[in-house]
Amino acid sequence: MTYKSLNDIISIAKSKETRRLAVAAAADKPVLKAVKNAYLEGIIIPVLVGNKTEIERICKEINFDLSGIEIYEENIPAISSVKAVALIKEGKADILMKGLVSTAPLLKAVLDKENGLTKGSTLSHFALIESPYYHKLIGITDAGMNILPSLNEKVDIINNSVEVFHRLGIKIPKVAVVGPLEVVNPKIESTTHAAMLAVMNRRGQIQGCIVDGPFAIDNAVSKEAAEHKGVISDVAGDADILVAPDLNSGNMLYKTLMFMGGCTSAAVIMGAKVPIVLTSRADTNKSKMMSIALAAAM
């Protein structure tokens, strides 16, 4: 099974039980526009936490009818994050979304050992990309969370991204661990990590996927490039997931695809008990709505 368009993700989300989306510090116009679009598509039911007066003012401005939608009053953004997390723990919401609050206090609420949503693994950013130049949707990780992940953290990052594909019905996603070249160079840690991750996968330490690497980006996504370089792999030219060596490369890859490659994305934070929609201010309205759809589809 493969998906070629992010619209396929909307179809999956619509086919499942409608999820309740808790938005922390919801008085944010771009976020509320995305929430409105997802709500009108029948993907989610919003549960809004924040400054009620501001939320109602913005919703009036964007013609978002709040009839029947719960709003929890909380004017301090950090506390609204705690409240949104609590609503999920109480079973009153299923997905968490970042509104007009900094990432740090939101994640602090998520990571709280007693009252948060941790499940023991590394949190990581996952983006599902629709590209006009690739034959299917492709995942990129980690473009937003882990600065210089260790080998063990990369195992968690792979497991988090594989979980996304499993939840979307793709049983054995192909994972390409990418870097500057497709051979192991002991002086370049990303290549040795890639080789170790591939061996760990073959020996059953990473399951539910095919992991291979190191790959340069060209032979991960182009069969022609892989054949030209003599790279023989089931993953080469047909990767479902690209695992970047570090935050620098992952973030630049992601944003280059968005701003220069004509791509659209849906992005979530994985590794907590529920998916977290944590969009950038620079993300388009479509990407924000697609991110909500991806979380709901899972």
Domain membership of residue 16 as a residue range: 6-119+272-283
Residue 41 lies in a domain: yes
Does residue 76 sit in helix, strand or coil?
coil
Q: Are residues 51 and 29 in the same domain?
A: yes
Upstream peptide bond of 283 is cis (omega within 30 degrees of 0): no
- For the CA atoms of the chain, what is the radius of gyration? 19
Q: Are residues 73 and 201 in the same domain?
A: no
The pLDDT tens digits of the residues spanning 248-286 come to 999 999 999 999 999 999 999 999 999 999 887 777 788
The pLDDT tens digits of the residues spanning 130-161 come to 999 999 999 999 998 999 999 999 999 999 99
Closest by CA to 209, choosing from 160, 175, 243, is: 175
| Rounded Cα–Cα distance for residues 84 and 73 (Å) | 11
Q: Are residues 104 and 140 in the same domain?
A: no
Q: Are residues 154 and 254 in the same domain?
A: yes
Q: Are residues 136 and 251 in the same domain?
A: yes
**Residue 237 half-sphere exposure, CB side, CA atoms within 13 Å?**
13
Output the six-digit token pair for 268.
């979530």
Q: Are residues 157 and 86 in the same domain?
A: no
Does pLDDT of 16 surpass 80? yes
- Name the residue type at position 50: G
φ/ψ of residue 128, rounded to 5: -100, 120
| Rounded Cα–Cα distance for residues 266 and 288 (Å) | 7
Q: Are residues 93 and 164 in the same domain?
A: no
State which H helix or E strand residue 151 sits in: helix 151-167
pTM for this structure? 0.93
Residue 170 lies in a domain: yes
CATH of residue 186: 3.40.718.10
Averaged pLDDT, 162-176: 96
| Rounded Cα–Cα distance for residues 140 and 111 (Å) | 23
Q: Are residues 36 and 97 in the same domain?
A: yes
